[in-house]
Each structure stands twice: as C-alpha cells, then as structure tokens.
Structure 1
Amino acid sequence: MTDSPIALPDSRTLFISDLHMGTPDCQAALLDSLLRRVRPKRLYLVGDIIDLIAMRKRAVLPSAQQRLVARVLRLARGGCEVIYIPGNHDAALRKLCGLKLYNVRIERRMIHVTADNRRLLVSHGDEFDTHVRMAPWMMALGDGMHQFVLSLNRWCNHGRRLLGMPYWSLAAALKNQVGAARRYVEQFEQAALHQAAREGLDGYIGGHIHKAGFATRPGVLYCNDGDWVEHCTALMEDGEGRLSLIDWQGRVIDKEPAVEPRPMVEPSLARA
C-alpha cells in the first residue's frame, strides 16, 4: 500500500484552518486522511494551526499530529506552495510574516486569484471580532461551554470508534441549536463581506469561527473553510476556479452559491 495521496479531480487549491494542534481536540488523523486523497498545487493554512495559547498550559503532540506536520512539510518539499496565515491562537508567528521556513511562506493575509480570475481576500478572521456585538460575559461563558462540549465530543467519538462508526461532531450539532451562536456567525459573515467589498474584491475566505459555509451579498462571496476540531472540513478550488466545501473523506458537502452582480451606479449619482 502506497502512502502517496490520491488526487481528487482538479484539486487546484486547498484551504484549511483551525487545527488547534497541541491540544487533544485536534483531529489530525482525519486531516491526514484527507491529505492522502488530495494533492493541491497550493495549500493555505488559514490560522490557528498551532494552538500556542493552549500549549502554555498543557502541550499535547501525539504521533498523529507529528505525522500530519511531516506530511505538510513533504507536500511543501514536493512542489506544493504552502502558505501559512497565523491566527489569534498562533499570533506569535505573525512576527515571522514575510519569511519562508521549510518551504512554507508565512503571510499576514493574501489575495488569492482563482482559476477564473476572481480576487479573494484570505485571512484568519479574528480581525472581525470587534464587529461582532456580544457582551464580554457572554463571550467568556460561551468559551467555557465550548471547551466543555469539545470534551464531550472527544468521548462521544471515542465510543463511536470502538463501535466502528465514523466521526460525527456532537459539538457542531449542539451549536446549530443555539440562537446566539447563529447570530454571531451572521454578524461575522457580514463583517467579512463588507471588508471584501470595501477593498473592491470578489470575495473573502477565512476560518476562526469554526463554522464552515458560504454567504453572499451583491458582487461578493463569503467562504469559511470550517475547522479540524469539530466539523473537519476544508475549502477546495478546482481547476476551473469553482469552490466547494469537502469533508475529511474528500466528499463534497456544499458548493459555492451564485453571486448576484453588483448594482449599477447611475453616472449622475456617481458624480454627486
């Protein structure tokens, strides 16, 4: 049996974020499984790849996470362009932006040009937190509850593995039922869409909120690649520039929606 990845058709670019390596919640084995199936020409690591904040208290780096690091470095040595955009949990690496280490470029943000010539802003997304209106006590409570649910998620999937059942996210299922979480996601999406529109770009790609999905406003597309502690999803661009969300097995779970064109501005209004 070969260890070489089996390329999915037209896998031009892959975007992944929020691995939180160094913690017990990182689903490194599932991402390693995906990277055996996908050989992209370019790989974006869109922040919170290494959880330096959590590692100050307790560092966890099991063999599965070590193998994943080795695989990414092999991709970089093998000709895949790997770009690391640090997030808020690995923000210390932002001091290295502009450098290339082990064939991995480190950048604060990028403008990705798709195969169909769309220009998309790529960043982790924590810069939009100031645009999300939520009381500090609620944010703190939510973070504590999130950690508790993630611990339940680990035990749930440990039991499923013993029964021969595939990975399933208890954490994601519970979050989908919470109205405050849905409002947070909507506000985050609108902030990212506004920023892309303000810069005259065609869209935005990020992570941070652990909620994969698409959203639109006239002329602008929002894409979130998800995470690898709960949903285990990635964003893939094919050879024609089309974007899809895929799961850890490489199955397409959602495709980018059509974007309405920007409204035309009357010349008289433009001069006003």
Structure 2
Amino acid sequence: MSEILKYKSIFISDIHLGTKGCQADKLLEFFKYSRSEKLYLVGDIIDVWALKKNFYWPQQHNDVVQKILRKARHGTKVFYIIGNHDEIFRKFIPMFFGDIKILNRIVHKSTLGKNYLVVHGDAWDGVMKYAKWLSKIGSIAYGILLKLNNLVNFFRKLNGKEYWSLAKYLKYKVKNAVKYIGDYEKTLSHYAKKKKFDGIICGHIHHAEDRDFNGINYLNCGDWVESCTAVVEKFDGTFEILSWNNINHKFIEKKSTSIEKIKFQKAS
C-alpha cells in the first residue's frame, strides 16, 4: 500500500472538537497519511454546545485546527460547512478563517460532472427543527453513552478484544433509531431530487452511508467520535466510505516496521 492516500476530495463531519469523545488522535493520523485537492468539513467540527457547558480543549484539538489551517495554506481548498453544534458561526457567514471559507452549504461538482449538495443536514432533522431542547437533551444522553462505551472498551482491550461501538449497536437494535435514520436519509434525498442535484453529502446523524434513493446518491460522512469515517472522492469521480479504524493499522504497522528496521541497521 502507498504511504499516502491521495484523493480528489475528502469530506468529514462531526469531529466535535471540545468534547472528550472526539478522537482527535485518529483524525491527526488520517490527516498525516492522506492528501486531497479539496477538503470539506461538513459541520459540527467545533462543539460550541459542549464548550459553553464545560470548557475542554486539549493540545490535540488545537493540533487538529492547526493541521487544517496548514493544509489550506499549502494549497488544499478547505470549506467549513456550519452544523448545529457550531451554529453560532452562522450569523457571520459567508466569511473566511485564514484560507478556509465558512458557509452554510456548497455545491460540489464531481470529476464526472455531477452536482452534489454539501450540507450538514440538521435543517432536515425534525427534532432539531421543532424541538431543539430535545436535541440538546439527546446530546447529553449521547455523551453519557460514549463514556459507558469507553468503559466497555477498556475491559475489552484488557481481554485482547478489538474496539466495539455500543452506541452503534444500539442504533441498529432500537427500532425508533433505525426508523429515524431511514426517514432522515429519505428526506434529504427527496430534497436533493426536488432541487435537481445528482446527490447529497451530509453528516449530523453519525451514521456513515453510501446508497441511492430514487436516483439520488446519498452520502453521509459519519463521524470522528465513534466510527472515524470519511467520504472520499477518487480521481475517477467515484465515491466511497473510508473507515480509518479499518485501515489505520496498515500505516501504523508499516511505520513501526520501518523504525525497527532502522534500529536494527544501526545496531548492526
């Protein structure tokens, strides 16, 4: 495998910088081993909701911001799409933060000439639209669930077992959660079709997906709290869901092998 993953465009959402659930270390790994002409940050990058309640900003979260700014300075076109957790910035858009353009939505034209609406997706969430207070309660409950998830995986790691997402498991097991995801996907796809887009790229529900609804390509970036996923566009114009948890070991192992080889050569 090549040491660097190269793509036409990368789309990531729901990083939630400013929370303990954010897997900034894995995102920094992904940024280190990937390159793209365009980088779309599809909402909920900085969790202002969480920061208002309890300020949490470790060095790794600062490193993520610096890495994104560095990418923009070195020629990557970076777009920051506002989400619900960072909605405080909406009153200032469109604006620039360094070389990063901040806006509410954008149309991405693929290499094959297809138009994709890129938007966080919270505007189509019935809970967000009609009962925002309920969404904030849900955010608190989700935070508690992630803490429980960390505890479960601590003991799994002690027993030599791989990472397992309790939150993801519950999403598939709870009937209402499955219906909510399905309704959300159909609603956004219907909107894209109505506006004559070829597809839609979003985030918000922390559920990575690549599927077609009545001729519309629905792509959800997932998140960097549980799944560590991204939507990537290859140079041939096709899209796929990339799961860093599934491939990161190939890069880390390669790096470790190279270091051990250098140490062996020096010792010899």
Question: So what's the TM-score if we normalise by structure 2?
Answer: 0.83
1:230-265 CA-partner distances (Å, limit 9, x unpaired): 11111000001111111125749xxxxxxxxxxxxx
> In structure 2, what is the Cα distance between the partners aligned to 1:131 and 1:89?
14
Partner of 1:235: 231
> In structure 2, what is the Cα distance between the partners aligned to 1:60 and 1:180?
32
Partner of 2:61: 65
Partner of 2:148: 152
* Counterpart pick for 2:219 among 208, 216, 223: 223
Paired AA for residue 194 in structure 2: R
Residues 1:247 and 2:243 are matched in the alignment? yes
Gaps of 5+ in 2: 249-268
3-state SS in 2 of match to 1:40: strand
Alpha-carbon spacing, 1:164–1:60, altered in 2? closer, same or farther (3 Å): farther
Higher helix share: 2
* Paired residues, number: 247
Alpha-carbon spacing, 1:171–1:249, altered in 2? closer, same or farther (3 Å): closer
> CA shift at 1:218, angstroms?
2.6
Asked whether the equivalents of residues 44 and 84 of structure 1 are also in contact (C-alpha less than 8 Å), the reply is yes
> In structure 2, what is the Cα distance between the partners aligned to 1:68 and 1:225?
18
Partner of 2:195: 199
Over aligned residue pairs, what C-alpha RMSD do you find? 2.6
> In structure 1, what is the Cα distance between the partners aligned to 2:74 and 2:153?
34
Asked whether the equivalents of residues 37 and 250 of structure 1 are also in contact (C-alpha less than 8 Å), the reply is no
Alpha-carbon spacing, 1:38–1:141, altered in 2? closer, same or farther (3 Å): same
Higher strand share: 2
Partner of 1:49: 45
Partner of 2:252: none
3-state SS in 1 of match to 2:227: coil
3-state SS in 1 of match to 2:46: coil
Alignment of 1:20-59 (within 5 A): 20-59=16-55
Partner of 2:117: 121
Gaps of 5+ in 1: 253-272
Question: So what's the TM-score if we normalise by structure 1?
Answer: 0.82
Asked whether the equivalents of residues 104 and 119 of structure 2 are also in contact (C-alpha less than 8 Å), the reply is yes
Residues 1:111 and 2:98 are matched in the alignment? no
Asked whether the equivalents of residues 115 and 240 of structure 1 are also in contact (C-alpha less than 8 Å), the reply is yes
> CA shift at 1:169, angstroms?
2.3
Give the fraction of aligned pairs with identical amino acids, expressed as a percent.
Answer: 38
Paired AA for residue 232 in structure 1: C
Partner of 1:177: 173
Asked whether the equivalents of residues 132 and 187 of structure 1 are also in contact (C-alpha less than 8 Å), the reply is no
